[in-house]
Structure 1
Amino acid sequence: MCHTGGCCILRRNRAGRRMTLSTQTTAPYPSLARACTVVLILFATAVLAYTDRQVLSLLVDPIRHDLHISDTQMSLLLGTAFAAIYGVAGVPLGFLADRTSRRNLIVAGVLIWSVGTLMCAVAPSFAMLFVGRVVVGLGEAVLSPAAISLISDTFEPKRRGLAVGTFFTGIAVGIGGSILIGGGVLDLVRDGLFAATPVAHWAQWRLVLLAVGLPSMLWALLLLVIKEPVRRHDQVFEENLPPAAGQNSLFPILRRMAPVFLVVAVASMVDNAVGAWAPSLLIRQFGMDPAKVGVELGLLLMLGYGGGMLAGGALADRFAIWRGRNGKIELCCLAVVATLPAAVMINSHSASGVMFAVPIYFALSAVVTASGLSAILDATPNRMRGRAMAISFFLNVAIGAGFGPTAVALAGDHVFGPGAGLGPAISFTVVVSYLLAALVLAAAIRTRRS
Structure 2
Amino acid sequence: MTAAAAAEPPYPSRPRAWGVVLILFATAVLAYTDRQVLSLLVDPIRADLGISDTQISLLLGFAFALIYGIAGIPLGFLADRSSRRNLIVAGVAIWSVGTLACAVAPSFEMLFAARIIVGLGEAVLSPAAISMISDHFPPHRRGFAVGVFFTGIAVGVGGSILIGGAVLDLVRAGLFAGTAVADWPQWRLVLLAVGLPSLLWALVLLWVKEPVRRFDQLEQAGAIASKGTGESRLLPLLLSLVPVLLVVATASMVDNAVGAWAPSLLIRQFGMDPARVGVDLGLLLMLGYGGGMLAGGALADRMAQLRGPRGKIELCAVAVLATLPAALLINSGSAQGVMIAVPVYFALSAVVTASGLSAILDATPNRMRGQVMAVSFFLNVAIGGGFGPTAVALSGTHVFGEAAGLGPAISFTVVLSYVVAGLVLLPGIVRRWRPAHG
Quote the residue 1:425 is aligned against: 409
Quote the residue 1:327 is aligned against: 311
Distance 1:368 1:285 in 2: 29
Find out whether 1:205 has 2:187 as its counterpart.
yes
Distance 1:244 1:6 in 2: 24
Q: C-alpha deviations, 1:207-264, integer Å up to 9, x for none?
A: 0000000000111111111111122244999xxxxx8789644333322212111111
One-letter code of the match for 2:47? Answer: H
Instruction: Please say if residues 65 and 386 of structure 2, whose CA atoms lie closer than 8 Å, have aligned partners that are also in contact.
Output: yes
Which of 97-106 and 249-258 deviates more? Answer: 249-258
The alpha carbon displacement at 1:446 in A equals 1.9
Q: Name the TM-score, length of structure 2 as normaliser.
A: 0.94
Alignment of 1:291-306 (within 5 A): 291-306=275-290
Which of 384-393 and 337-346 deviates more? Answer: 384-393
One-letter code of the match for 1:291? Answer: A
Instruction: Please say if residues 96 and 199 of structure 2, whose CA atoms lie closer than 8 Å, have aligned partners that are also in contact.
Output: yes
Q: Give the alignment partner of residue 204 of structure 2, picking from 222, 238, 244.
A: 222
The alpha carbon displacement at 1:26 in A equals 4.6
- Are residues 278 and 73 of structure 1, via their aligned partners in 2, closer, same or farther at CA, if it must alter by over 3 Å? same
Quote the residue 2:25 is aligned against: 43
Distance 2:325 2:229 in 1: 38
Distance 1:227 1:131 in 2: 33
Quote the residue 2:13 is aligned against: 31
Distance 1:168 1:416 in 2: 36
Distance 1:88 1:108 in 2: 18
Distance 1:231 1:404 in 2: 37
Which of 332-341 and 270-279 deviates more? Answer: 332-341
Find out whether 1:128 has 2:133 as its counterpart.
no
Distance 2:154 2:108 in 1: 29
Secondary structure at the aligned position of 2:177 is classed as coil
- Are residues 361 and 24 of structure 1, via their aligned partners in 2, closer, same or farther at CA, if it must alter by over 3 Å? farther
The alpha carbon displacement at 1:6 in A equals 7.5
Q: C-alpha deviations, 1:61-102, integer Å up to 9, x for none?
A: 000000000000000000000011111111110111122111
Q: Give the alignment partner of residue 65 of structure 2, picking from 83, 100, 113.
A: 83
Distance 1:247 1:30 in 2: 32
Distance 2:80 2:210 in 1: 12
Find out whether 1:351 has 2:338 as its counterpart.
no
Find out whether 1:341 has 2:311 as its counterpart.
no
Quote the residue 1:140 is aligned against: 122
Q: Give the alignment partner of residue 195 of structure 1, picking from 150, 153, 177.
A: 177
Distance 2:421 2:254 in 1: 11
Alignment of 1:109-188 (within 5 A): 109-188=91-170
Distance 2:374 2:40 in 1: 28
Secondary structure at the aligned position of 1:275 is classed as helix
Find out whether 1:268 has 2:260 as its counterpart.
no
Distance 2:260 2:326 in 1: 17
Which of 329-338 and 188-197 deviates more? Answer: 329-338
Quote the residue 2:224 is aligned against: none
The alpha carbon displacement at 1:306 in A equals 0.5
Distance 1:382 1:109 in 2: 26
- Are residues 33 and 382 of structure 1, via their aligned partners in 2, closer, same or farther at CA, if it must alter by over 3 Å? farther
Quote the residue 1:365 is aligned against: 349
> How many pairs were matched up?
427
The alignment yields a C-alpha RMSD, in angstroms, of 2.0
Distance 1:172 1:197 in 2: 35
- Are residues 443 and 386 of structure 1, via their aligned partners in 2, closer, same or farther at CA, if it must alter by over 3 Å? same
Alignment of 1:51-130 (within 5 A): 51-130=33-112
- Are residues 267 and 24 of structure 1, via their aligned partners in 2, closer, same or farther at CA, if it must alter by over 3 Å? farther
Instruction: Please say if residues 293 and 347 of structure 2, whose CA atoms lie closer than 8 Å, have aligned partners that are also in contact.
Output: yes
- Are residues 46 and 325 of structure 1, via their aligned partners in 2, closer, same or farther at CA, if it must alter by over 3 Å? same
One-letter code of the match for 1:159? Answer: R
The alpha carbon displacement at 1:5 in A equals 4.7
Distance 2:133 2:302 in 1: 23
- Are residues 419 and 253 of structure 1, via their aligned partners in 2, closer, same or farther at CA, if it must alter by over 3 Å? same
Distance 2:6 2:76 in 1: 22
Distance 1:25 1:255 in 2: 38
Identity of aligned residues (%): 77
The alpha carbon displacement at 1:390 in A equals 1.9
Consecutive unaligned residues in structure 1, runs of 5 or more: 8-22, 238-242
Distance 2:398 2:22 in 1: 44
Distance 2:375 2:308 in 1: 25
Quote the residue 1:409 is aligned against: 393
Distance 2:192 2:407 in 1: 31
Quote the residue 1:240 is aligned against: none
Distance 1:88 1:24 in 2: 38
Secondary structure at the aligned position of 1:349 is classed as coil
Distance 1:387 1:50 in 2: 23
Instruction: Please say if residues 46 and 170 of structure 1, whose CA atoms lie closer than 8 Å, have aligned partners that are also in contact.
Output: yes
Secondary structure at the aligned position of 1:154 is classed as coil
Distance 2:168 2:339 in 1: 20
Q: Name the TM-score, length of structure 1 as normaliser.
A: 0.91
Distance 2:64 2:56 in 1: 12
- Are residues 324 and 25 of structure 1, via their aligned partners in 2, closer, same or farther at CA, if it must alter by over 3 Å? farther
Distance 2:301 2:240 in 1: 20
The alpha carbon displacement at 1:389 in A equals 2.1
Quote the residue 2:432 is aligned against: 448
The alpha carbon displacement at 1:383 in A equals 4.6
Instruction: Please say if residues 93 and 199 of structure 2, whose CA atoms lie closer than 8 Å, have aligned partners that are also in contact.
Output: yes
Find out whether 1:281 has 2:265 as its counterpart.
yes
Find out whether 1:258 has 2:242 as its counterpart.
yes
Which of 323-332 and 78-87 deviates more? Answer: 323-332
Distance 1:448 1:196 in 2: 66
